[in-house]
Structure 1
Amino acid sequence: MDHAPTSRPAAAVVRTLCTALALLLTASAYAADRGDAAIQAALANGLRPTVLPPNAALPHWSLQQRMAQHHVPGVAIAVLRDGTLVHSAGYGTRQAGTHDAVNADTLFSVGSVSKVVTAATTLRLVADGTLALDQDINGYLRSWKVPATPTVPAPQLTLRMLMSHTSGLGVHGFADYLPGEPLPTLAQTLDGIAPAKNKPVRLIHTPGQRGDYSGGGVMVEQQVLEDVTGQPLDVIARTQVFVPLGMQRSRYSDPLPGTDNIAKAHDGDGALTALPRGWQSFPEQGASGLWTSANDLAAFVAALTASYRGQGSFLPRAIATDMMTEVSPSWHGLGPRLDGTGQTRIFHHGGSNDSYRAWIEGYLDTGDGFVILTNGENGAQLAAEIRNALSDAIDRGVNTPVHTVALDLRDARYADYAGVFERDDAIPMDQRRALADIFDIPALQVKVANGEVRVGVAGTPRDGQVLPLTPNRFVSPDIDGLQIEFHRDGRGQVNALTVVHGEGRARYVRKRT
């Protein structure tokens, strides 16, 4: 044991104590808000759109500029390199018009990012043998059963289906609840009974037939967890995920009165909403009810990538590999969405409640990743621009900018792109992948006029401009990653087009009158 000198002057002792206290406070602040120079530079002048005009230079927007442009008061960001947290910080304020600063421990609602944490909770119980991925969930459900339908008289669903959105269940998402509104129970949500605002969670497809994003399916997953353990989701997740990963701020329930450091909700103009409290409620906990922080989610992303790489014990490597493998015909693995190969192999998921937008992304081969949390209705546009900046800074070749080309679309050679094109449903669902969900459109109307090509839903006025990448390939500036390729055959005729999204393909053929 060391002993302090007995003859040290009192002033020296005071100076030593003050220095030690200052170092302690500095260390605590650094743990909550740390910065990496490359990431800081990207946020200072690296935000950009995904699609750029021909030969355009990157705009080098700052985070502060774009927060003001999108009327988003507060943002929290965390960045991982090789599984290590290298940057975590808050920007702006928790409430517009105040000096209440956001930091990396500020609580945000994260919408559907909740689904990935719910999936991890389930997989921890799979790992310990409590649950099985491919067993009929009827063996687990006690207080509720999936109702039969005329086309599916004896439903047999599995947890693998529920987590990958291949269960055939409906109800894409859920409405938020304002302060003072009564909140539904889980049973009321599943059956669409007031005060629930959603339709009943019921089968709309044959289980396993297609990928169709279903928040309702995740609520059935929550019911499985609660029936098997006899505990509410918040308690299960705390035991299985929050405590093991040190996610001290995270919860699947409304923040308690007196909870500090909460990002308040803001509308599209940046004005405080959901008054008087300043945030909505999200009773559909497993699907969209998680409250958490950038630091907590960074620990979660790091744990998933470490488990996948065989460098962590949060999940067995075999189960982590299952989690990060697409379940055909879905875009999803067991919870997250998946894209890319090699060092560009990533898992990701966004979250969108009324006034909050969130994004997580992990690079499975390298252990890199990031978390973006916002407290404004326009946060999705801002988060996309932040994601671009962070992707560029990480420099793994993911989410690179797309430059369009200059074409004179008034030229007669493009006129025959116009027409109605009907989807070829002979193309298997496992080739359509995400398009079977995010672009489930039976027929497209293509218009060529005034130097523009516009694509919309046939029979409706809705359409949007697509921009040329080549003479026959176009990109949507509105739907991230969506491209359309026109096919001109050996006779010089355009009789078909392909819609492309990542690895998904949907073919459309010209309608003949």
Structure 2
Amino acid sequence: MHATTARHTASPSRRSIHTPQRALTLCAALALLVSTSAFARDRHDPAIDASLANGLRPTVLQSNAALPKWSLQARMAEHHVPGVAIAVLRDGKLVHSAGYGAREAGARSGVDADTLFSVGSVSKVVTAATTLRLASEGKLALDQDINTYLRSWKVPATPTVPAPKLTLRMLMSHTGGLGVHGFADYLPGEPLSTLLQTLDGTAPAKNKPIRLVHTPGERSDYSGGGVMVEQQVLEDVTGQSLDAIARAQVFDPLGMQRSRYTDPQPDTDNIAKAHDGEGALTALPRGWQSFPEQAASGLWTSASDMAAFVAALTASYRGQGNFLPRPIATDMMTEVSPSWHGLGPRLDGAGQTRIFHHGGSNDSYRAWIEGYLETGDGLVILTNGENGAELAAEIRNALSDAMGHGVNPPVRTVGLDLRDTRYADYAGIFERDENIPMDQRRALADFFDIPALQVKVANGEVRVGMAGAPRDGQVLPLSPNRFVSPDIDGLQIEFLRDAGGKVSVLTVVHGEGRARYVRKP
């Protein structure tokens, strides 16, 4: 099954920015030393090693299928991903951080926990933390009209929103109503856009202008464009580049010595190079793309650095750290209705299974971070291949199983004879019920914004796709009337048979989100 989601592209640096070095106080220097010693070395945990040796698996399994017990090495080869870096936290402490494979296909340069990777949209969470640190110092207010902060650029009015009022809370939670989902990468030698060119969509920027497409606050619509407006707020308020602000607010306090929002130089050591879907080196001659949309997708970092970041967020939330004041950390980790996001990260679960997470996806790099808010556990997965998202999902499954919280268990289908005529009336065209409030649709209003679905039942399969489109996908039974998509993680479809025996409604379910579709007469 295929949704209409645009790719979460990202972008790092653009201009050569002079970053002034801040003098560290003795306390800051000691904090940096402690953080560096805690998070800088490769280390191995036997349980994690075992899970990576024979614990990778898909999310959806057939009813009678045994767990495949894939090895990381075998799946890297299957997905043509040359290099991976993985870090795992237990109770806020780093227990595993290591690299696997090569920084460059065919070379002998191995990945380690300090290898530099592009992390795509994971950048947004670090940008959000930068903003929240400034808010904790009283330099920004989360619910103030951002036009009072902006000096270099203003949010343009539209016919439907003649006097736009957006806030940082809206920008970080993707409820601001701005467009431009993601950004295209730039190859070596291509001219890079400035921040203002990105905001206005003027050459050499590759994106459309960042403009309002919805009334602010009315719906969830993932917007890398909105995060670029957040960057402009940060730079206008401080008079510094994003890289300088993040270094002072995040990188230096947490000892993230490898992290940067600017392009690595060609002589940068220990960098994971970019690879295409066949595992071949790309973006030559340098070996990696540029991402001028820094706040949205331009962060370069390492598994060790990101582990320190995840640990700092969970510690702040638990009242065990002072990176963020606990009330602000709690705000960060609370959904902003009607979004799936808090202030930066996405959020799922409740109680001991409450997690924050975010993925990143540039052309040749895929990344994933996840933190367990009640326990302080967490994980980081960085890859340097176009197919890294599929691999990262399998690694996440293995790590989740090893950590034992039951957050991401395998979903087993059931055996149904879908050739039975009782399932024939699932077929048809179902139109979305627009009366369902956005706070119930949540993320489905964004990544599954499909006005009508077509269901086909034939050859023992149920297939679902966008009405009128040639592509569809098989959904697999979890019960006689509930089906799961193997293509879209966590997406399920339920056919509702009423008291008269008719199926006139189906619901699409993703986490806490619900969308209702009614059979077209």
Are 1:262 and 2:271 counterparts? yes
Secondary structure of 2:430 counterpart: strand
Q: Distance in 1 between matches of 2:505 and 2:306?
A: 44
* Structure 2 residue aligned with 1:247: 256
Q: Distance in 2 between matches of 1:46 and 1:434?
A: 30
* Structure 1 residue aligned with 2:319: 310
* Structure 1 residue aligned with 2:386: 377
1:388-426 superposed Cα distances (whole Å, 9 cap, x missing partner): 000001110101000001111111000000000000111
1:304-361 superposed Cα distances (whole Å, 9 cap, x missing partner): 0000000000000000000000000000000000000011000000000000000000
Q: Distance in 2 between matches of 1:170 and 1:444?
A: 24
**C-alpha contact (below 8 Å) 2:424/2:457 kept by paired residues:** yes
1:238-272 superposed Cα distances (whole Å, 9 cap, x missing partner): 00000000000000010123210000000000000
Are 1:108 and 2:123 counterparts? no
Are 1:342 and 2:351 counterparts? yes
Aligned partner of 1:447 among 438, 443, 456 = 456
Aligned partner of 2:481 among 459, 472, 475 = 472
Are 1:504 and 2:478 counterparts? no
Residue 55 (structure 1) shift: 2.1
Residue 29 (structure 1) shift: 12
* Structure 2 residue aligned with 1:19: none
**C-alpha contact (below 8 Å) 2:99/2:110 kept by paired residues:** yes
| Structure 1 segment 480-495 matched on structure 2, within 5 A | 480-495=489-504
| Structure 1 segment 121-140 matched on structure 2, within 5 A | 121-140=130-149
Residue 31 (structure 1) shift: 4.6
Are 1:143 and 2:155 counterparts? no
Are 1:34 and 2:46 counterparts? no
Residue 30 (structure 1) shift: 9.4
Are 1:216 and 2:234 counterparts? no
Q: Which residue identity is paired with 1:464?
A: G
Q: Distance in 2 between matches of 1:101 and 1:488?
A: 56
* Structure 1 residue aligned with 2:364: 355
Aligned partner of 2:439 among 430, 433, 445 = 430
Specify which structure has the bigger relative contact order, considering alpha-carbon pairs within 8 angstroms and separated by 6 or more residues: 2
* Structure 2 residue aligned with 1:399: 408
Q: Which residue identity is paired with 2:209?
A: P
* Structure 2 residue aligned with 1:77: 86
Secondary structure of 2:252 counterpart: helix
1:136-168 superposed Cα distances (whole Å, 9 cap, x missing partner): 001000000000000000000000000000000
Are 1:99 and 2:108 counterparts? yes
Aligned residues: 486
Distance 1:122 1:61, change over 3 A: same
| Structure 1 segment 180-219 matched on structure 2, within 5 A | 180-219=189-228
Secondary structure of 1:102 counterpart: coil
Q: Which residue identity is paired with 2:438?
A: M
Secondary structure of 1:112 counterpart: helix
Q: Distance in 1 between matches of 2:355 and 2:300?
A: 24
Q: Which residue identity is paired with 1:456?
A: G
Secondary structure of 1:80 counterpart: strand
Q: Which residue identity is paired with 1:433?
A: R
Q: Distance in 2 between matches of 1:30 and 1:370?
A: 13
Q: Which residue identity is paired with 1:328?
A: S
Unaligned ranges ≥5, structure 2? 1-35
Residue 56 (structure 1) shift: 1.4
Which runs of structure 1 show a deviation greater than 2 angstroms over 4 or more consecutive aligned residues?
A: 27-31
| Structure 1 segment 8-87 matched on structure 2, within 5 A | 31-87=40-96
Q: Distance in 2 between matches of 1:397 and 1:164?
A: 27
Residue 52 (structure 1) shift: 0.2
1:45-68 superposed Cα distances (whole Å, 9 cap, x missing partner): 000000001121111000000000
1:446-469 superposed Cα distances (whole Å, 9 cap, x missing partner): 000111000000011121000000
Q: Distance in 1 between matches of 2:499 and 2:185?
A: 53
Q: Tell me the TM-score normalized by structure 1.
A: 0.94
Residue 32 (structure 1) shift: 1.8
Q: Distance in 2 between matches of 1:210 and 1:29?
A: 41
Percent identical across equivalent pairs? 85
Q: Distance in 1 between matches of 2:250 and 2:39?
A: 24
Q: Distance in 2 between matches of 1:246 and 1:356?
A: 24
Unaligned ranges ≥5, structure 1? 1-26
Residue 28 (structure 1) shift: 8.2
Q: Distance in 2 between matches of 1:406 and 1:99?
A: 47
For the aligned residues, what is the CA RMSD?
A: 1.1
**C-alpha contact (below 8 Å) 2:44/2:95 kept by paired residues:** yes
Q: Tell me the TM-score normalized by structure 2.
A: 0.93
Q: Distance in 1 between matches of 2:105 and 2:218?
A: 46
Q: Distance in 2 between matches of 1:58 and 1:123?
A: 42
Q: Give the number of the structure whose alpha-carbon radius of gyration is greater.
A: 1
* Structure 2 residue aligned with 1:458: 467
